[in-house]
Amino acid sequence: MTLVYSFLIVAVVVAATFAIHRLVRVVRVYLRFQGKRIVTCPETHHAAAVRVDAERAALQAVVGKVDLNLCECSRWPERKNCPQDCLRQIEEAPKACLVSTIINRWYQGQECVFCHKPFGEIHWHDHPPALLDSNRKTVPWTEVTTEELQEVLATHKPVCWSCHISETFRREHPERVVDRRSDELRMTLYH
């Protein structure tokens, strides 16, 4: 009887280890391939916004080899039946073509055009930065589509969250804003 229980315990431990290993693989594959990406379309040689079917890839990871497919592309529905050769770019560098990676890299080493505060690590869930367009209007990232990302990064300037909020208020409620010029005489009175 003891031998049967020992064998049963070993079998349960082996099965649990295998299941945990597969579960970890599924989660890793999903996290690796989720999110919007910018790739160069092999057909047009222009940027295209795509999304990999991460759920399908994760389910395939349970049984073995992962075969990537797109679930979204900015060139669809016209080119829905393309050979999806752009997937090679994602397989080679899955993080490098992520929209979040591209934007984070763009902010690194730059400073806000208004307050000149340098950008550090971007916290998208808390006080995300914005952009300044050619009309001197601040633009939140929620108004930028993935398809226009490359153009926006080339034509816009970085703005910190605080300055974006200030400039938005100034633009939307000019009657409530008082601009005070720096008056050297007044400043010397308070020192």
Question: How many Cα atoms occupy the beta-carbon half-sphere of 75 within 13 Å?
Answer: 20
Q: Which residues contact 60 (CB under 8 A, 6 or more apart)?
A: 29, 66, 67
Q: What is the pLDDT of residues 1-50, one digit of tens each?
A: 687 788 888 888 888 888 888 888 888 989 999 999 999 999 888 888 99
Q: What is the DSSP string of 21-61?
A: HHHHHHHHHHHHH-SEEEEE-TTT-SEEEEEE-HHHHHHHH
Q: What does the alpha-carbon distance between residue 116 and residue 65 come to, in Å, rounded to a whole number?
A: 49
- pLDDT value, residue 186: 47
- pLDDT value, residue 79: 82
- pLDDT value, residue 165: 93
Please give the single-letter amino acid code of residue 38: I
- pLDDT value, residue 115: 93
- pLDDT value, residue 190: 45
Read off the tokens for 138: 């601040």
- pLDDT value, residue 182: 58
**Which helix (H) or strand (E) covers residue 132, if one does?**
strand 130-132
Residues in the chain: 191
- pLDDT value, residue 191: 46
- pLDDT value, residue 24: 87
Q: Tell me which residues of the chain have a pLDDT lower than 50.
A: 185-187, 189-191
Q: Sheet holding 36-40: strands in order across?
A: 36-40, 47-52, 70-73
Q: What does the alpha-carbon distance between residue 153 and residue 150 come to, in Å, rounded to a whole number?
A: 5
- pLDDT value, residue 184: 54
How many angstroms separate the first and last alpha carbons of the chain?
91
Please give the single-letter amino acid code of residue 125: H
